[in-house]
Amino acid sequence: MSIADFIAVLPILVLTIAAVAATVLAAFRTGHAFNAALAACGFVLALASLAPASKAAPRAVTALFSVDAYSLFFTGLLLGAALAVTLLSYGYNAGREGGLAEFYIVLIIGTLGAIVLASSVHFASFFLGLEILGVSLYVLIAYFLGPHANEASIKYLILAGVASSFLVFGMALVYTELGTMEFSRIAMRAGAGAGPLLFAGLAMITVAAGFKLAAAPFHMWAPDVYEGAPAPVGAFLASVSKGAVAVIILRYFLQTGSFAIGPFFTVFTAIAVASMFAGNILALFQKSVKRTLAYSSVAHIGYILVAFLAGGRPGTVAAGYYLAAYFVSIIGAFGAVALLSGKEKELDSITEYRGLAWQRPWLAGAFTAMLLSLAGMPLTAGFLGKLFVAGAGVGEDLWFLVIALVVNSAISVYYYLRIIIALFSPAYGEAAAPLPGLPLAGSVALGTLTLLLVFLGVYPAPLLSLLEKAAAVF
Amino acid sequence: MATVPAEYALGLAAVLFALGLTGVLVRRNMVYVLMSIEVMLNAAGMAFIAAGYRWAEPDGQVMFVFILSLAAAEVSVALAVIFRFFHRTGTLDVDKASSLKG
């Protein structure tokens, strides 16, 4: 490896060093603020290191990584999301029992796994990144001794373990058939004709990806895990974990042209439609805000898959824009739940949100904006995201998927509005428990996310120009 | 000297994988479920060795070492979580982990 190679993977190196440094320093300084600041510094430095890395791009670093506009864009997105989660966790964690230093260390390591996924073009780095991310999540979900945290973590780790085994077995089958684990070579060799082993391998990789993305019919774990996990970890699960898997799957399928093999286009169409309907219809019956958001994130994966299936440049740009908009909105929505949660108990039932707009007008306003963006209302990022996805779908004549998307957007408005109406309706007679004070770091993060949401919703040009470059990679 | 065809090893790996999956679905004790997941992961490792053997490349064995080490990391964290669950509830039954519903 040359110096230029090291510069190209600088974000990965910075996070690795940050994780090691945080582990060593946690032995001496266990203070909460110190460790949170260290993690935030790590993420900011990694974001800053994208500038030199982009000068070295495009560059293939060994057979494992490809640093190009695509990987750099999504690395930046994932790091930004991780930074927002760190700030939101700081207020949420403050005053909770137990050592808090390790929370941030594991958060850094999980994000490291995610950005490894963003630039990997080889099965080995794919598997490594996914496992680094997954194992960190087991810890984060069960970090606090909540009533459901252990159970949520166990549910996640059993299903994620099974999904990982499916993934590696599928990879082994593809390798048996084609004799290579590099995405670009898989593309060349698979073109010669798909044998049964390649077919089975791809099917197993699809199942594993479905689990990790929480796409229907593999979404059963999502609501339980999102509900049991602490709210900032829910934000991390819904954004960084899901987004990183979406990014690598999009790269894998675009680069290897696997949608063209056998019935995989139809299979993914079915998964997309099932995710949209299952997510939105089940969300209608939820009483818990976190479960509603979990089902909403299942539906959002369905929307993103529409852009995947459209493929090509418009599809990639739409998927990237949608992911960015979805990241901002879902982190913001979970962040609002985190900011409203006290030390003893999280504010979770929708009825508990009644009258909040009168006690915490700004926070309720930000939460409303996030929910409207998830529903796809105009002037928010979510609206433009849906517009681009629908445009990409129409461009490829995927009318069935586009109609499903429009119908589902209409269904979803109902349950988002239900939360918003609760926020703005008068509180019940009895005096509600006093709300916790607003932590500064979390409020700043939520405020920034809200501004970003509106900015992306009215002025998409800067992000689009970045995404055009990213899409030109394929 | 007669050699074992790679297909045989792949077949064995598939059988092991199916056994592991059956264990995950059938077993009620969390520790056994975890062991079944280990069997599945190692079956995948075995498939990689068979594939590396077929192409006469070391890549399959490299992947096997990756799988082995990450399975170890996974099981250590998983055991810690299961241990804490046992502490709180006094049971290892997967069906008892059902307080989250809806």
CB spacing of A157 vs B77 below 8 angstroms: yes
What is the number of residues in chain A?
Answer: 474
CA distance A371 to A243: 19
CB spacing of A128 vs B70 below 8 angstroms: yes
Instruction: Name the interface residues of A facing B (CB cutoff 8 Å).
Output: 123-124, 127-128, 131, 134-135, 138-139, 142, 145, 147-148, 150-155, 157-158, 161-162, 164-165, 168-169, 171-173, 175-176, 179, 181, 223-224, 227-228, 285-288, 291
Backbone Cα Rg of chain A:
21
* Tens digit of pLDDT at every position of chain A (474 positions): 788 899 999 999 999 999 999 999 988 888 888 999 999 999 999 999 999 999 887 888 888 999 999 999 999 999 999 999 999 999 888 878 777 889 999 999 999 999 999 999 999 999 999 999 999 999 999 998 777 888 899 999 999 999 999 999 999 999 998 888 888 888 777 666 668 888 899 899 999 999 999 998 999 999 999 999 999 999 999 999 999 999 999 998 888 877 777 688 899 999 999 999 999 999 999 999 999 999 999 999 999 999 999 888 899 999 999 999 999 999 999 999 998 887 777 788 888 888 888 888 899 999 999 999 999 988 899 999 999 999 999 998 889 999 999 999 999 999 999 999 999 888 775 555 667 778 888 899 999 999 999 999 999 999 999 999 888 887
Enumerate residues 6+ apart whose C-beta is below 8 A from A46: A10, A11, A14, A15, A18, A79, A115
CB spacing of B37 vs A161 below 8 angstroms: yes
Distance from CA of B2 to the nearest CA of A (A): 21
B98 in a structural domain: no
Segments in A67-220 forming alpha helices (H)? 69-93, 101-119, 123-141, 149-178, 183-190, 196-213
B37 in a structural domain: yes
Chain B residues within an 8 Å CB radius of A164: 41, 74
Which residue(s) pair with A349 in the sheet? A288
Distance from CA of A303 to the nearest CA of B (A): 24
Q: What is the pLDDT, as a whole number, of residue A359?
A: 84
Chain B residues within an 8 Å CB radius of A153: 81
Chain A residues within an 8 Å CB radius of B25: none
Distance from CA of B1 to the nearest CA of A (A): 23
For A192-210, the pLDDT digits (tens) are 666 888 889 989 999 999 9
For B66-102, the pLDDT digits (tens) are 999 999 999 999 999 999 989 888 888 888 877 777 6
Q: What is the pLDDT, as a whole number, of residue A264?
A: 84
CA distance A29 to A35: 8
CA distance B63 to B43: 12
Per-domain residue ranges for chain A? 3-471
Q: Is the pLDDT of residue B1 over 60?
A: no
CB spacing of A179 vs B85 below 8 angstroms: no
B47 falls in which pLDDT band (50, 70, 90)? very high
**Residue B77 is part of which domain span?**
6-90
Q: How far is CA A55 from CA A1, A60, A139, B44, in A?
A: 17, 13, 36, 39
Q: Which of A102, A109, A127, A158 to mutate to test the interface with B (most CBs of B within 10 A)?
A: A158
Q: What is the mean pLDDT of residues B25-32?
A: 92
CA distance A44 to B17: 42
CB spacing of A154 vs B66 below 8 angstroms: no
Residue B5, preceding bond cis, omega within 30 degrees?
no
Q: What is the pLDDT, as a whole number, of residue A105?
A: 95
CA distance B52 to A172: 9
Report the amino acid identity of residue A440: L
Please report how the helices A242-256 and A196-213 are oriented relative to each other, as an axis angle in degrees rounded to 10.
Answer: 160
ipTM: 0.95
Residue of A nearest to B97 (CA): A151
Q: How far is CA A467 from CA A75, A115, A323, A325, in A?
A: 13, 17, 11, 13
CA distance B47 to B49: 5
The beta-carbon neighbor of A165 closest among B40, B48, B57 is B40
Query: Do A78 and A115 meet the contact criterion of CB atoms below 8 Å apart?
Result: yes
CATH of the domain at B53: 1.10.287.3510
Distance from CA of A290 to the nearest CA of B (A): 11
A288 φ, ψ (degrees, to nearest 5): -100, 140
CA distance A130 to A254: 19
For A339-381, the pLDDT digits (tens) are 888 777 778 888 888 888 888 889 999 999 999 999 998 889 9
B96 in a structural domain: no
Number of domains in chain B: 1
Distance from CA of B36 to the nearest CA of A (A): 9
